Amino acid sequence: MKLFHLLLLALLLLSSLAVATPDEAVGRVTKVVDGDTIDVQLQSHDSRISEGTIRVRLAALDSTEMGTPQGPPSKDYTTKWLQSAIVSLDIDDKTGKDPYAGGWPWSI
């Protein structure tokens, strides 16, 4: 379990090093859905986005599902690091919306 948390922390820290294009999207995390999915209330965004709040599935991160024993600790960990944080978002995929999150695939 400690190894999982260290890996998750490393992935979150690495993803924070990615510089988002300033005109894509910036907002505040309003909800952590699970270990790899968050809701973001946008403060600014480019013209491809029409919603005020978007569901974001973190790029290159696959957390355990909430129905598993590791699901709630994964969500708690993501909540600890991202709840209420201001994040810069960058569209991560040229093919369109992420089928798991129901929205655009983003990196933070």
Residues 6+ apart with CB under 8 A from 37: 55, 56, 57, 58, 100, 101
| Cβ-contact 43, 28 below 8 angstroms | yes
The tens digit of pLDDT for each residue in 7-18 reads 666 666 555 555
The tens digit of pLDDT for each residue in 68-108 reads 999 999 999 999 999 999 998 886 655 455 555 555 555 55
Distance CA 99, CA 105 (A): 9
Query: What residues make up the domain containing 102?
Result: 2-107
Q: Mean pLDDT of all residues in the chain?
A: 78
pTM here?
Answer: 0.67
In total, how many domains does the chain have? 1
